[in-house]
Structure 1
Amino acid sequence: MLKLKPKFDLHRDVVSDILRKEASVCRVEEYSGAVDTCILNMERDGGILYSWKGATGTTRIGKYDPQTKQNKLLYTFDKQVCVSSCSLNKEETLLGSMCVCCSQPLNDNQELSYTVVLVHKGCSKMFTVSLDSSRSSQKATQLHPLFIPMGYYILVYLPGYFLHCINTRQQEMLCHSLFLSGLDVDLGLQYQSASFTVLGVEEESNTVLLDLASGRICTAELSPAYLLQILRTDTPTCTSRTDPQRLAALHCLLVYMGNDPELEPKIIDWLCDNVTAFESFDQIQEFILASLYRISYEKSLSLDKVLPYSSVFDKKEVSVCLLEVPGVSCTTELHTEPVFKGKARSLQGFWSELQWNTERMKYLEAVPNPRYRTSHIQADWDKLRSERRRSSSHLKHMEENTKKVLSMVDTWSLDKKLVPLFQEEDHQQRALIGLMVDKLREHLNRHLPRLGKKKIDSLVVNYVAKLLELIRHMLESVWLKYKLGPRVLCFTQQGSPAEWAVFHFMFRTLEATRGLCLPLPPGYHTLLAVLGVRCLPHHTFLQYLDHGLLQLTETFVSRLMTDLDNSDANEKLKFSILKRLPEPMEQRIHQLWDHPVSSASISRDYVRTLLEKHNKNKGFAFTGRDKPGFRPEFLPLTYLAKILSDVEEQALNPFEEQENVDARFVEETALQQTLILLGFQDK
């Protein structure tokens, strides 16, 4: 019923041509050696990719064109390796992130070696894994790993032994690649890996697999549910998960799968349930940097090597468990630098971009610390806070940076107003925002000048704006998780367990951002202080202030003074807070609190202002001797009274237009205190 028409025959179309070429290489009339030809992939244009072992101990990759009936050599390894799969771009150069994978036979020490050649990065990584010989029921020649490309990940799978998800984009450290071992490792393939081959990549995250044994074709993708299971420490099957596995799984979820809108809330939910930092890394810092890296990398691929993606590099001492994987060794080999022949102007399209990427990679590999470190800003930030006076031009420049950032934030979903941020002036955070824009712009201009100043300025402003919006989004998710409402902004009620959980999460976020010297959205410190008053005992709250863990903002103190009544406990708290305020803020806060102590402070400031004005008036003459009532025997007191009387009109009246201050009350209080001091009245 079917009429079959042969389209491709490996022996007829490929092997016969290979034998002729090998005979020519060996300078013999007929080549009789084995070439071990293997089909690797079928391209969309119908071309067949294959590999074979050459006569000189090499492994070669070729392509058969069904239109021209011609074979073309694409790539040659200088040794015999096992190639699992590969693909091409339109210029017919190898691509699974321009990587080539190969493995070597099992050695006498029961060690399996496999190599991932990162063509686009000019280096190769050779991994050696020690296998458990007691579990090996196969011959050494039968143990071949399966290489599966998944976007910029390369999965190396040996059933019953290990699964290695190699992160080719973030390959500086082993801890950003997920390595799982043991009998629990299972990809869900029903047959041995040798019976599977990779046909191609259907989408960026999907790979097409061909089961040679059953003739079935299926698509494969990484499972976010499985990676989330690795993160969760409360799952019985994950009690032995190590920090490197959690870190690698977290980066895969955030960077590789981060565009899934349903995934981020689950990760934030996991952060809420695991607030305390792990022993070797801070998961909140990793969430912030990895998310920003993904967002920025999508806008410009050039940012790959210059933006931070992990807080591990900012640590003074990296934990040993992040530098090593038990049973796995890795060696890196730098390849000969590629050379482009001809003039650069003759290169167009793909080749022009490849040339620039190659030159950029060579430069970034040569210079020390090309990746921006957020901690580098710390010294400048400490200096900025310690200096009382800065040039007006510098401050104006910093403020312009901040305005650019906040203008972008203001365009993003501020109508929700679920969390009250970006609604007040926070001069300290505004200064840090402006400083970060300056330093990041300077870094990109130094390492990526080709992008141009206008493009770099746009990328930097967007990066910092996304940082502020990301933190706000985190808080909104936590707010929804614990179902908090407007009542959390009220000082008169005790905090609930849900509010305590939010306070703990916000406090840990503050610690994480301080460790990286990252700015927070204006209003963050006010909100955290409000939750602190509600959730902490008063003496504990004051200790948090004294140790610099919480920060007093003018908005917070103003609301505290007006919203709380003057009960004994609240009055004591207010006095304690007033003592901790800088003098300018203290003077402004006294105007808001209707209390005798506040009124007395206003009176003292008023007198001080009069005296300071008097000292500035040169040539002031005292002419009170001619006036009646002059008493020379009390000259100091009379002189002071006359000075106050003569300069009173030159100072602003502190009681004018102040609804909360009773001038008559202040006068009576002052008279009563005078009588007490003179002994005419008891306290």
Structure 2
Amino acid sequence: MALRLVCDFDLRKDVLPGLRARRAASLASGARGGGPGILEDNYESLRILNVERNGNIIYTYKDDKGNVAFGLYDCRTRQNEHLYTFEKDLHVISCSINSERTLLAASLVHSAKEGRKNELQPGSKCLTLLVEIHPVNNVKVLKAVDSSIWVQFLYPQVESHPPPENHLLLISEEKYIEKFHIHVIQEDGNKVVLRDSGHLPRERVAEDFVWAQWDMSEQRLYYIVLKKSRSILKCIQFSANEKFNLMCLVLYVLRLVNFGCDDLQDQGNLSKHLTLCVFTNHTGSLCVCYSPKFDSWEKITYSVFYFHKGHSKTFTAALGSVDSLVTKGLTFLNLDYYVAVYLPGHFFHLLNIQHPDLICHSLFLTGNNEVVDMLPHSPLQSLSGSLVLDWCSGKLYRALLNQSYLLQFLWNTQLDCEKMAVLHCVLSCGRDPRFLEAKIIQWISENISTCHSFDLIQEFIIASSYWSIYPETSNIDKLLPYSSVLTWNTEIPGITLVTEEITLPFMKVHSFKGYWEKLNSNLEYVKCSKPCLLYNNSMVKREWHSLISEEVYSFALLQEDHSMVSELREHLLRHLQGIEKKKIEQMVLDYISKLLDLICQILETSWRTHHLHPWVLHFRRASAAEFTVFHIMTRILEATMSLFLPLPPGFHTLHTILGVHCLPLHNLLHYIDSGVLLLTETAVIRLMKDLDNSENNEKLKFSIIYFHCPKNPPLRIFQFQLLLNYKKQPQSSMIDKSPGSVEFLPLNYFIEILTDIESSNQALYAFEGHDNVDAKFVEEAALKHTTMLLGL
């Protein structure tokens, strides 16, 4: 399947065996208690409560006496530690431990009577407790209310030195959020106690909110408050102790979700409730994924607000069969550059949040597909990064895109939109770029003519070069193209899409650092009314045509050279402020080297695939393999010429020589005239030297040199044309010896002709830096002229 869930933690494998072993050891030592099967029969009470920022997992279970116990799984040592036991039959709503494992916060309610254990009974009290556990010393009641409370310790950025003060968040269903300041002191060595347990300072962080979500990795609290007719999304980053206000997103009736999952929530009917998730990544993206209550069994609608891009997209997915009812809610998972959206048994969507402008950059799989069927049907919660928590099974997964499946899917799909989406997905998430590029190139070489909506070679070269340099700077996505496709009007089967502009977030920040700096840069780019800053080779193309039109040549025939290096360097220097010039220059070289390397890889792959050998350069009748490689090279040329990209040295020479093999003379000359085959000095010399003097070859040489060179030829070809058009004049001095004469009459005769041509034609003086007489030219032309005079 496209999404691979790698299990990092499993309660039944990582915790339960240890509990059973400890229980068995306790019974063997004669400790009082229930039989050995008690915990075995009640293992369903074992469940995850929280995942802290450092990766440690807090879980709870009930012992044989019904007491509630808390344990911690250390993700580094992979060991379990018992934290605390309440000697009462209680139900745990929420729990958190500080980074030093000295304080435990928990919210509990008295267990309901049988038959009502999944509901909070009216009139029951929720106790929020703060416990000293190193060593066990004191329990302080923080809250005693009727509503549910979620607790969360804040974790500092640096954990090497214990902070003198701990901070604890309390999030209440009564729509307020408080932060407690807890001072601790050390006594008698390692004993840690509260400095003033009678008075813990606290402050009101937010109130009248309707929704909240905790980001444990970045220590951010997102919440929504209602003001008049709109909802305002806000964020507080506690680790930096700064507040960031983000707005606005219009929503309706909301409930508290995404701070955790407990048995009090009705997980069997999630489709009756909306789903709301906030996702960010290191590039400065901010996405809000929202799914309202389902009002139809025939289609599902959800929206994604790309705040970093300034627009939202509302997707409507057809479910197909009306008989297949929706019993589960939508799941949104954060996959770095992508957001996965899936409805178990119905569809799986992979949304490109880095480049969401074109729908073809996202993948939409629907119907009876193994990707859809193999995903977990239980409720999942996306944590920071790529962590995914399955509350029901007690498993913590790391969500990864399955490269093997995506490559296989690339070979099998028939839709252009899916080819485009998977191509970008593989390149952006690849952990072994060379291997993936080789696989994609093999696919391109075998499917080069099967894609009609875009050019496979162009898309691969542009996308792969972009992703190879992208990690070096976060602003490169605004300056370098990531796709060759500018518009996409083809419909995606089963998907309708509505795009709307949205109000950009407003940030009230003391200083922009890290993620907030990148988000601010994205927002400034959206606000800017300037034209798109993406680099294109139009400037290089204009300069090229300017050189041709002005008859300015610094090379003989077509030299395989390109001026993209200087143009791209100037483009990046102009827009990448604060980055060293040397780094930008290296970036440019890396980018263009990657372009050329990818083209070379395509050539090498086609060469190996069709078993061509060096003897292909000998002039003889072409084989079927040579025809195929010539076609691939022609497609490469078309792809690069329309984008005006550089080609590896020798490309045009090899392409022309293969063209001589593969094409009849009239087709060959037509290819040269139309610019498909571009003559290089090396190619012309090879033609002159390697072709024998048969009638057909002589005709080919004459046609190429005299009629199919560029209309504004360089010096050597211009000299040939002057010689061809020269009309002999009666001159008695032709046979007179001059100071420069040699003892070879035909050569003297020809020197006189050249002298006359040069003295009577001013056009030769346009070629600055060249001698009027090219010795090599005189030698070759004189010998040829002599053989003609002698009839040899």
Structure 2 length-normalised TM: 0.60
Q: Using the alignment, how far apart are the partners of 1:221 and 1:511 within structure 2?
A: 36
- Residues 179-578 of structure 1: matches in 2 within 5 Å? 179-184=364-369, 186-187=371-372, 189=374, 191-192=376-377, 194-201=378-385, 207-232=386-411, 235=412, 238=413, 241-257=414-430, 259-276=432-449, 278-313=451-486, 318=487, 320-321=489-490, 326-342=494-510, 347-348=512-513, 351-352=516-517, 354-363=519-528, 366-375=529-538, 377-389=540-552, 428-430=559-561, 433-434=562-563, 436-451=564-579, 455-491=583-619, 493-578=620-705
* Correspondent of 1:584 among 709, 715, 718: 715
Structure 1 residues 112 and 437: CA distance shift in structure 2, 3 A: same
Per-residue CA distance 1:331-359 (angstroms, 9 max, x = gap): 233223424455xxx55555555544543
TM-score, structure 1 normalization: 0.68
Distance 1:529 1:116, change over 3 A: same
Output the CA distance in 1 between the equivalents of 2:589 and 2:301. 45
CA contact (8 A) 1:54 1:60 kept: no
Structure-2 change in CA distance of 1:256 and 1:332 (3 Å): farther
> Structure 1 136/655 Cα, relative in aligned 2: closer, same or farther at 3 Å?
closer
List runs of 5+ in structure 1 lacking aligned partners.
26-33, 66-71, 202-206, 400-424, 591-598, 618-649, 674-683
**Partner Cα separation in structure 1 for residue 684 and residue 388 of structure 2:** 63
Change (3 A) 1:560 1:213: same
- Aligned-partner Cα distance in 1 for 2:535–2:483: 11
Q: 1:108 to 1:177 in 2, by over 3 A?
A: same
Q: Aligned equivalents of 2:354 and 2:443: distance in 1?
A: 25
The 5 A counterparts of 1:564-643 are 564-579=691-706, 580-581=708-709, 582=713, 584-586=715-717, 606-612=751-757
Counterpart CA distance in 2 for 1:524 and 1:162 is 45
496-505 vs 443-452, greater mean Cα deviation: 443-452
Kept after mapping to 2: 8 A contact 1:129/1:329: no
Q: Give the 3 Å change call, closer, same or farther, for CA 152–497 of structure 1 in structure 2.
A: same
User: Per-residue deviation at 1:273?
Assistant: 0.7
Distance 1:35 1:64 in 2: 17
2:339 to 141, 150, 154: 154
1:170 shift after superposition: 0.8
Shift of 1:516: 1.0
Count of aligned residue pairs for this structure pair:
552
Match of 2:288 in 1: 100
> CA separation of 1:107/1:500 partners in 2, compared to 1, >3 Å: closer, same or farther?
same
Most deviating of 243-252 and 13-22: 13-22
Superposed CA deviations along residues 32-78 of structure 1, whole A, max 9, x for unmatched, are: xx99999x778369x8989899999979899999xxxxxx9999965
Q: Deviations over 1:137-172 (max 9, x none)?
A: 23xxx4521111112100111123322211011111
Change (3 A) 1:190 1:283: closer
> Over residues 481-517 of structure 1, what are the superposed CA-to-partner deviations in whole Å (9 max), with x where a residue is unaligned?
33333212222x3333222222111110001111111
Structure 1: how far apart are the matches of 2:782 and 2:679? 28
Is residue 22 from structure 1 mapped to residue 175 from structure 2 by the alignment? yes
CA contact (8 A) 2:463 2:482 kept: yes
How much does 1:456 deviate?
4.2
Structure 2 stretches lacking a partner, 5+ long? 1-22, 24-62, 64-68, 71-83, 86-94, 97-105, 109-126, 129-146, 150-169, 179-207, 239-243, 255-273, 722-743, 763-770
Match status 1:118 vs 2:306: yes
Deviation, structure 1 residue 520: 1.3
The alignment partner of 1:281 has SS state of coil
8 Å Cα contact 2:215/2:384 also seen in 1:
yes
Q: Distance in 2 between matches of 1:651 and 1:375?
A: 36
Residues 1:569 and 1:156: Cα distance change in structure 2 (over 3 Å): same
> Deviation of residue 662 (structure 1)?
8.2
Match 2:320 to one of 96, 109, 132: 132
Distance (Å, rounded) in 2 between the aligned partners of 1:20 and 1:105: 21
Q: Is the 8 A contact 1:482 1:498 kept in 2?
A: yes
Greater mean deviation of Cα atoms: 375-384 or 327-336: 375-384
Q: Relative to structure 1, is the Cα distance of residues 384 and 19 closer, same or farther in structure 2, using a 3 angstrom cutoff?
A: same
| 1:272–1:614 Cα change, 3 Å | closer
Q: Distance in 1 between matches of 2:676 and 2:358?
A: 33
- For 1:670, the equivalent position in structure 2 comes to 789
**CA–CA distance in 2 between the matches of 1:514 and 1:144?**
49
> Is contact 1:199-1:208 (8 Å) kept?
yes
Deviation at 1:549, TM superposition (A): 1.2
Q: CA 1:561–1:127 in 2, change beyond 3 Å: closer, same or farther?
A: same
Separation in structure 1 between the aligned mates of residue 473 and residue 750 of structure 2, nearest angstrom: 57
Q: In structure 1, what is the Cα distance between the partners aligned to 2:250 and 2:772?
A: 90
Residue type of the partner of 2:754?
A: T
CA distance in 1, matches of 2:423, 2:584: 29
- CA-based RMSD of the aligned residues comes to 4.6
Change (3 A) 1:159 1:53: farther
The letter of the residue matching 1:670 is L
Go from structure 1 to structure 2 and tell me whether the alpha carbon gap of 1:662 and 1:160 turns closer, same or farther (over 3 Å shift). Answer: same
Question: Which has more strand, going by share of residues?
Answer: 2
Contact 1:148–1:198 (Cα < 8 Å) also in 2: yes
SS class of match (1:261): helix
Identity of aligned residues (%): 34
Counterpart CA distance in 1 for 2:361 and 2:751 is 63
Counterpart in the other structure of 1:29? none
From the superposition, tell whether residues 210 and 556 of structure 1 become closer, same or farther in structure 2 (CA, over 3 Å): same
1:220 alignment partner, SS class:
strand
Deviation of the 1:427 alpha carbon: 5.0
The offset of 1:287, in angstroms, is 0.7
Task: Judge conservation of contact 1:195–1:213 (CA < 8 Å) in 2.
Answer: yes
Do the aligned partners of 2:558 and 2:679 also contact (CA within 8 Å) in 1? no
Task: Decide whether the 8 Å contact of 2:337 with 2:352 is kept in 1.
Answer: yes
- Structure 2 SS opposite 1:100: strand
**How many Å apart are 1:200 and its aligned residue?**
4.2
Q: Deviation of residue 310 (structure 1)?
A: 1.3
In the TM superposition, residue 608 of structure 1 has moved relative to its aligned partner by 3.4
What letter corresponds to residue 289 of structure 1 in structure 2? I
Separation of aligned partners in 1, 2:388 and 2:301: 23
Q: 5 Å matches for 1:56-75?
A: none
Deviations 1:407-429 (A, max 9, x none): xxxxxxxxxxxxxxxxxx98544
Note if contact 2:175-2:210 (Cα within 8 Å) is conserved in structure 1: no
Provide the residue aligned with 1:681 in structure 2.
none
Distance 1:74 1:614 in 2: 79
Name the CA shift for 1:362/1:287 in 2 (closer, same or farther; >3 Å): same
- Give the letter for the 2:541 counterpart: Q
